[in-house]
Structure 1
Amino acid sequence: MTQDEVISAEEKMAPVERNENLIKYNTRILNKNVVLNYLFAQDKLVGASYKLDDNYVNSDHFIQSYLQFKQVLAKKYGLPSEEFTNWLNDTYKNNRKKRGLALSLGHTEYATFWKTQNTTIECSLREENFNVLCLVEYWSIGHSHLLEEGKKEDKMDLF
């Protein structure tokens, strides 16, 4: 898809940001606020992501949202091809009541993957720069080379 095709498909929403590599929308999924990003390389859609945009005081709510997203994706795509919980610091690993705290401190991260013929789907939950990120990402298998070329060009632009 091109940028124009994506904008036509999302006719009920107005982009909040647009440039040659991105179209961004604010929307709602499963009664949650999300930022929807469509990512482009050479005017071809290479990926899309939904980033949870709700603020929770209790990080356990992020885990609940992650599990909810994961459940909906499993209904749509079936059993995941891969799933893991990575403990970077096991201080709270054996204390289920502290899982949200462990997440917010960057002690743990969660990820689940599905693969279709054309797309890799990832649902992930982690701490990054003192914020909890809950993401659902879709990456085109057929256009992954364009994404890599775009990353190389971005690095060259730094100089």
Structure 2
Amino acid sequence: MRKAIGLVVFGCAVLAVSQAGELVSPLSSPPDFRQAAWGMTQAEVLATEAAQPSEIRESSGEIIVRYDSIQLGGLACRVVYIFADDKLVRAKYVFDAEHREPNDFIRDYRAIEPLLHDMYGKPVSERAFWSDDSLQDEPKSYLEQDRASATDILPSDQFAGPSIAAGHLKLYTRWRGDRTKISHGLTGENSRITHQIEFLSVELERLENDVRGASRN
């Protein structure tokens, strides 16, 4: 197995420099994450950073590198970098908040949205996906019309957070540029909510799919 040695901390909005460190826009030209670009080897990425990773592991034929103790928009998070065939193909922020009230995750989601909108402009989609209405007062057919956008989901809706935690509701805002796809998501399952921003190389998406597919054969 190829030895994993890479780490890079990436950013997503220059407006958040004071809160999240050195950040860059990855949509049109490199660097894509701090001083790293899509397709860099782990060694090349490592050379851009002084810090050491918190974890390096292999999963589905890829190398996963995690770096802890990052701040974005005033929220604590982890940075995860994914290498396929020794090329940087994907990375994401995974927010670390532990809230007793599920609706507080919606507040976090809405706090991060302006940073992404200010950097990347109008998203290609803003969706609230309803798969189950059992925790709501209204039927699914109504929710899919009246609350079809991520911006329609408010922390003041007492049932929204529990619906996300149960996996009944997923929020996504997405952007796309020449080099990078971005997905800001709030999802849940088994009473656990995941809030993350994922960045994906447009050019290397097929490579990652091929590597993951080969690992299953």
* TM-score, length of structure 1 as denominator length: 0.89
Larger CA deviation: 93-102 vs 74-83:
93-102
State the identity as a percent: 28
Supply the distance in 1 between the matched residues of 2:116 and 2:137 (Cα, whole angstroms): 26
Gaps of 5+ in 1: none
Larger CA deviation: 19-28 vs 54-63:
19-28
| Residue correspondence of structure 1 range 10-159 to structure 2 within 5 A | 10-11=49-50, 13-19=51-57, 21-26=63-68, 27-90=70-133, 91-92=135-136, 94=138, 96-156=157-217
- Identify the match of residue 5 of structure 1 among 25, 39, 44: 44
Conserved 8 A contact 2:167-2:190 = no
Q: Which has the higher helix share?
A: 1
Q: Which has the higher strand share?
A: 1
- How many residues matched? 155
1:25 alignment partner AA = Y
**4+ residue segments displaced more than 3 Å:** none
Supply the distance in 2 between the matched residues of 1:129 and 1:147 (Cα, whole angstroms): 28
Supply the distance in 2 between the matched residues of 1:10 and 1:112 (Cα, whole angstroms): 29
Supply the distance in 1 between the matched residues of 2:211 and 2:109 (Cα, whole angstroms): 29
Supply the distance in 1 between the matched residues of 2:130 and 2:192 (Cα, whole angstroms): 17
Q: Residue 137 of structure 1 aligns to a residue in which SS?
A: strand
Compare CA radii of gyration and give the structure with the larger one.
2
Conserved 8 A contact 1:87-1:93 = no
